[in-house]
Amino acid sequence: MKVIIITGSCGLIGSESVKFFSKKKYLIVGIDNNFRRYFFGKDGNTNWQLSNLKKIKNYIHYSYDIRNFKKLKTIFKKYNKRIASIIHCAAQPSHDWAAKEPLTDFSINATGTLNLLELTKQYAKNSKFIFLSTNKVYGDKPNQIKLVEKKKRYEPINKHYKINGIGEDMSIDNSKHSIFGSSKVAADILVQEYGKYFNLNTVCFRGGCLTGPSHSGAELHGFLSYLVKCCLKGKLYKVYGYKGKQVRDNIHSSDLVNMIWEFIKRPSRGEVYNVGGGINNSCSILEAINLIEKITKKKMKYKIMKQNRIGDHIWYITNLRKFKKNYPKWKLKYSLKQIISEIIKEQSQIH
């Protein structure tokens, strides 16, 4: 069997990837030490997901820390040239949390990625390396787009952005990235460089709001999942700044994993793609609250705080043109309403 290594295998995209590739008859090697619980406490605990994954016959789990080069090396040495792909999802994912422990954040996001790239070069140079990057590599550059305030959301004045969203040509320079964004920039550039300099098949998927029913949403990470959790539990949701009119586009984890599959079938070297749900899957926080209330028939408790999060985007919608042009067979399957309905259904069973 071909081997696929998935880091952060108990997380949202990691677990979705495990399920997808187990059906493709790969031997799945999952690496996840449940550090999400350390970041976010009880809400971030992914042990429930690990229990589900262990039921999959062709899944092998390692509770290793990606910062530990020696332990990672034992995995790469064992599977060697059988390794067909590496899907690197493990990360410290919150820009709020990163400011509390910058050394931890950088060692996981940057050094951990470098460890995996170097081992890929040494033991599996013909494999495909997929890195889950972030739109935070652009820092607060998107906030330089001139916006107009509507009743429930902000919108760009510029028609190009309004129709298409933000593309890969946006500069990552001269902006405030947050500590998290900075560590992900370092990792992003490394992934590109190992592709271009060492001729590895690498790609950076710069995601925005990646979501779905497998998300262990917490206050500091996992916008829609945590919003639903608050609604179902009757818990207060704090909206940080911008009157709740800040806009995000949302992509279902299944749609993203299908993007990964398209790249694996036809890889390139050191490529970059913005990934998200696009214009049709976009919503402000106020709009998301209204939609959740409509589906659950429950009233949300929320409070709009005056202070926004440092470096937070006021308006960010992904331009998918580049990926669609290079991979025309890929289609977005999940609408925003379908995504939220699935999350509600899953969390209703838990809560």
- pLDDT digit string, tens, across residues 237-282: 999 999 999 999 999 999 999 999 999 999 999 999 999 999 999 9
Inter-axis angle of helices 285-296 and 336-350, nearest 10: 60
Using the predicted structure, report yes or no on whether residue 141 has a pLDDT greater than 70.
yes
CA distance 233 to 253: 24
Closest alpha carbon to 263 in 196, 330, 316, 213: 330
Is 3-350 in CATH node 3.40.50.800?
A: no
pLDDT at 154: 98
Arithmetic mean of pLDDT, 333-344? 96
What percent of the chain is predicted at pLDDT more than 90?
88
Residue 179 dihedral angles phi and psi, to the nearest 5°: -65, -40
Helix (H) or strand (E) holding 207: strand 201-207
Give the pLDDT confidence of 179-212 residue by residue, as tens digits: 999 999 999 999 999 999 999 999 999 998 999 9
> Tell me: the pLDDT tens digits for 304-319?
999 998 778 999 999 9
Among 38-42, 160-164, 298-302, the range scoring the smallest mean pLDDT is: 38-42
How far is residue 272's CA from residue 203's CA, in Å, rounded to a whole number?
6
Q: What is the DSSP pairing of strand 128-134 with strand 83-88?
A: parallel
State the number of CA atoms in the 13 A half-sphere of 234 facing the CB: 0
Closest CA to 104 of 38, 41, 54, 53: 38
Q: What is the pLDDT of residue 351?
A: 54
